Structure formats: structure tokens, C-alpha cells
A = this chain, B = another copy of it.
């Protein structure tokens, strides 16, 4: 059995502010032969998601940080290419949080087999994966949109925001999206079916958002923080709900605000009986079967659409990741590590 080489991208240094490509490095590592009960996996697709930025910092968060020298964290879709495990056959596709690498040996722990519902298979990393469940559970369990209410979400063409908007509409709410630039705005409006879309790059962004929400905001699905939060805050209605699962605008750098914005936020929470509720998707992992059934059906009925942004080759993952944090991707960012069908 020939020896496999695993290429892997490891954390070389903790980023100061926005990550640079020199904060990671590509390593090549020979893998030993698999033992009894093990499988050799070849990565087909790697998912790039904003939460990974947090793992690069040495700051207490909901998961431990990636150690310097450790493989960058990330979910992959992989094919079983060798097996000495009775539960996995060569050729099967699995998903798991195995990191930014081309090959790895696994005993099967934490792997999910991907059945025919994941069509195309990359949906397991997006609309039918972690980002999809984030949108589904956060909106329905915390946001609880009611018919006629207004739901606002930023990163409206991304994997979370796009599903939040489409489910909001399925539930009878009005969906207002926020996106960057005319192409994304047009896509959110025309293809995803948002009722209104605001360009956060516009100099009149806050006024535009207010004009698009004449009845205020009942649910704000918070992914970004920063200037968008400042524009949303005055528009939140009494008893508005804010599911909070991301703060992309805050990940790279401390906020540049000169003044303390906390009192205004706390006063709004008090005077308008707001609910701010942070969540990590694992809290709702038990809902995955229902989520898969329901969202798969919505896709098949044409009520939910999704878009992927593909990059080819593991070596291009760092630059793509850095670009994503700057909003340069358009759709769910996926690295095709080895997408040849064999």
C-alpha cells in the first residue's frame, strides 16, 4: 500500500488584526499506513466560514483556539480511499470537521455519511450543513418571525443570510437584506426574493435601511455587528428579537468607534423590551433531521435557492479565506480540494 502524502495548512502565527497569508503555511506530511479500524480519507471539498477567524486568536471563546503549528480548523467533505473499518467502504463520501488538509487517517469518529439528499454534495457544507442549520434554528427558535413582521439580515447573499431571508418569507414575514455592492443586491432581490435589499456601502445606508423598514424591525438576525448594528438599533420594535451568531465586522479589529456605544444598546434593550440571544449552532444539533427534511423539500420545490463560490486547490484557501472576511466572496465559499470523480 503506497504511502500517502497529506498537504495541510497550519497556523504559523496568530494574526494581528486582519489575517495575512503569512499567518498560515502549507506543510506536507507523509501518512503512515492505516491500521485495523481505520480509513484513509481524501478531501474533496473544504468549507471556509467566518467562525474560523476566532479560532486563530488566543482568546477564550466557545471553542479552544487552534494552537500555533496546528491544522486550521474546518469542515470537509472527503472520500474514503482506503478502508480497514467495517463501517466504511471505499468510495463513500463523509463530512467531518477534519481541517484544512488533503488527506487524513480517521477511525470514523465524528464523521457523517452523506446520502443522496446532499445533491449536489457540497450542499452538506452550505445550505444543508452548518450554515443552513444556523439560519434555520436561529431564525425559527430565537427569531420566531410572525406573518407580517419585518426580518432583517446582513450578508444576505451568504449561506446563512440567504437562507434566513428565504425562510422568513416562507413563514410570511417581510425580508429585508443587506449586502455589499450592486451585484449582490440584485441577486438577493431578484433570485433570492428578498422584499428589499440595502447596500451597506451606500453613504446613505442608515437612511436607506430605515426607509426599507417603514414598520420597524421585529427580527434582526445578527451576523456582522459594527456599523450595521448601529443602523439597526434605532429601528428595532418593542419586543424585537435578535439572534446573534456572528460579528464578522468585529473579528479582525477592535471597533474604531471613538465613543462608548454600550449605554445606547443597553438603553434600547431596556426601553423596548428587546431580546438579544447569542447562540452557537451546536445547541440546535438535535434539530438536524427536521432541518434536513424541511430545507431539502424547500429546495426541491424551488422555494429555497443557494449559491456557491468555488475556489480550486488547497493552496488557494488562505487567500480565499482572507477575502471572505472582507466580503469578497459571493455565495457559500467552498474550496474544491480534489473534485475529480473517480
Contact = CB atoms under 8 A, between A and B. Distances in A.
Contacts of A250: 263, 266-267
A271 interface: yes
A270 B257 contact: no
A311 to B, nearest CB: 27
Interface residues of A, number: 38
Contacts of A246: 270
A61 B273 CA distance: 11
A245 to B, nearest CB: 7
Interface in A28-75: 54, 60-62
Given A255-B260, A260-B260, A62 B271 contact: yes
A273 B262 contact: no
Copies of the chain in the assembly: 2
Interface in A77-91: none
A263 B260 CA distance: 10
A277 interface: yes
Name the residue among A246, A255, A261, A262 with the largest chain B CB count within 10 angstroms. Answer: A262
A244 B269 CA distance: 8
A265 B263 contact: no
B266 A273 contact: no
A278 interface: yes
A247 B267 contact: yes
B257 A262 contact: yes
A222 to B, nearest CB: 8
Nearest to A54: B271
